Structure 1
Amino acid sequence: MPKFQTYLVGGAVRDRLLGLPVQDHDWVVVGASPQDMLDAGYLPVGKDFPVFLHPDTREEVALARTERKTAAGYHGFAFHAAPDVTLEQDLARRDLTINAMAQDEAGQVIDPYGGQRDLATKVLRHVSPAFAEDPVRILRLARFAARFADFTVAPETVALMRGMVAAGEVDALVAERVWQELSRGLMENKPSRMLEVLREAGALQKLLPEVEALYGVPQPEAHHPEVDTGIHLQMVLDQCALQQAPLTVRYACLCHDLGKGTTRKEDLPRHIAHEVRSEKLARGVSARWKVPSDCRELAELVAREHTHVHQSGAFSAEARLRLLERCDAWRRPQRFAELLWACECDARGRLGLEGRDYPQRERLAADLAATQQVDLAAVSAAAIQRGAQGADIGRAVQRARLAALQAAA
Structure 2
Amino acid sequence: MRVLLTTYGSRGDVEPMAGLALALQELGAEVRVCAPPDFAELLDAAGVRPLPVGRPIRALATGLLADEAPKTLPEITAELAGMAYEAVTTAGEFDAVVSAGVIGMQAGVQAAAEKRGIPYTGASFSTNFVPSPHHPPVPWPGQSVPEGETDNRVLWDLNAEHLQGLFGPPINTLRASWGLEPSDNVRDLILGDHPLLASDPVLGPWRPATDLDVTQTGAWIRPDERPLPAGLEAFLEAGAPPVYVGFGSMPLHDAEQTGRAAFEAVRGHGRRIVLGSGWAELVPDGGSDDCHVVGEINQQALFRRVAAVVHHGGAGTTTTAARAGAPQVIVPQVADQPYWGGRVAALGIGAVHDGAVPTTASLSAALVTALSPEACTRAAAVAGTIRADGARTAAKLVLRGAG
Q: Same fold (TM over 0.5)?
A: no
The TM-score with structure 1 as length reference comes to 0.25
Q: Which has the larger radius of gyration?
A: 1
The TM-score with structure 2 as length reference comes to 0.25
Higher RCO (CA < 8 A, seq sep 6+) = 2
